[in-house]
A and B are shown apart, each in its own frame.
Chain A
């Protein structure tokens, strides 16, 4: 199942831009509209584009299912560990233990509209990245499973 050369070339060219846009949405989740779920869905859309252009087998040789499965597990683990560290520090589960401390992601912000600083918001950027990795893996692996089932039934 191969599309024409034009479709394959355009998909190859636009895939890195989709990837960068998705990562931008994930990393800037606490400043602009977006976040982990939306950015992960955008990156998964890029993988869907590759699969539509090149076919399932050719893409699965480069981006293997095991890689996506590991990405999903790693994202969920990072999310839970980030929440659990707050307990080790003597605070409650899911406390924002990095906000307003002056460390990484810890610059205090004043109330009101402003230009926005990437180095704020405590654990929220870390959780955004974790959830982004998880959603990217989950949506792509669901697509892979369904495609393998469709090929088997043919």
Chain B
């Protein structure tokens, strides 16, 4: 029965989990790996996660923590910085979107995780701190540095105008 519930959960939430992984990593291949690794962990913890009633939240937290894991970071170093940028969706300026995507690629995994949790999940710093195992003050500092890095990366591109 629990196996069936797990499979039902995966089938029902895979689009959201895949999207979350892609937003976190910025790489299609890394995102697919991250989904697989996170679901392997979720499968092992499934009985207690299912009883707690929050498998999606558990899966997303696992995904974030796995993504910022030191050794996964090493595995990504050999990838080209600009390969496999997510395609433009047709809204807004093409150059503008590509430049921002490239700028996001310059962030460290933990900085990108803070950005995603802040601007994609819209969760507060206490919650982010819990997910990243950091204090809220450290989360604020990480977000500040991430935004500063993005501004710097975008300013380096003469095609993009960024307002402060």
Is chain B found bound to chain A in the same assembly? no
